[in-house]
Amino acid sequence: MIEIRIHGRGGQGAVVASAVLASALFYDGRYVQAFPAFGVERRGAPVMAFTRWDYKPIRIRTNVYRPDHVIVLDWTLILEGVDVATGLKENGWILINSSRDLEVKDFSKYKIAIVDASAIAVRYKLGTPTAPVVNTAILGAFSKITGMVTIGSVIRAIRENVPDKQEENVAAAREAYSKVHRVI
């Protein structure tokens, strides 16, 4: 079983990203689960969402404590002391939305990738310039770096699960797919 934990802030689309990723994985023939974990339920507060997949039915129903991969929708969470790597398996991916390469010395046991999903979301008018919704862009980047879900299935899942601005969200996913880069 492969488990993915998504860190973000309320309003960035972490919960939708988890659901869209699960749909895309399902389209690629996997069994899936997607679910959120909320603390303080307000815009801007830290949130987590989870996706798991396997080639056989999934029977467990717990949060993800030992993820294979982590997606970070807002790099400032790291600066604020959120340990996004907690429990992350060695050699797992940490995909970070950031406009610049970050000092990632504490992440030496992991594979790091950066994509400026915020700039991409702003370009396609997803959210606002001060609060971009980066979920679909980050999924395009995740498809590229991991290869575990096809970009075609991500696009299909966006079209079938995202109610607004479908073509803009598809374009954002495609652009992030082409612009993500590995740091380490």
**What pLDDT is attached to residue 107?**
75
Residues 6 or more apart whose Cβ sits within 8 Å of residue 47? 7, 8, 9, 10, 14, 15, 36, 37, 38, 39
Q: Is the pTM of this model over 0.85?
A: yes
Kindly state the tokens that stand for 48. 């987590």
Other beta carbons less than 10 A from residue 102's beta carbon: 16
C-alpha distances out from residue 101 to 20, 58, 147, 173, Å: 27, 36, 22, 20
Domains of the chain (ranges; CATH) run: 2-182 (3.40.920.10)
Q: HSE on the CB side for 62, CA within 13 Å?
A: 5
Tens of pLDDT, residue by residue over 105-153, are: 577 788 999 999 999 999 999 999 998 999 999 999 999 999 999 999 9
Q: Tell me how far apart the alpha carbons of residues 162 and 137 are, in angstroms, rounded to a whole number.
A: 13
Give the model's pLDDT for residue 102.
64
Q: DSSP character for 107? A: G
The confidence score (pLDDT) of residue 168 equals 97
- Cβ distance 142 to 149 under 8 Å? yes
Distance CA 39, CA 159 (A): 29
Residue 156: its pLDDT value, please?
97
pLDDT value at position 42? 65
Query: What confidence score (pLDDT) does residue 39 get?
Result: 58
Mean pLDDT of the chain: 90
Closest CA to 114 of 82, 88, 137: 137
Positions of the chain with pLDDT under 50: none
135-146 vs 14-27: helix axis angle to the nearest 10?
40
Q: Report pLDDT for 103.
A: 62
Q: How many CA atoms lie within 13 A of 41 on its CB side?
A: 4
CA angle 94, 169, 20 (to 5 degrees): 60
Q: What is the pLDDT of residue 41?
A: 61
Strand-pairing partners, residue 124, are none
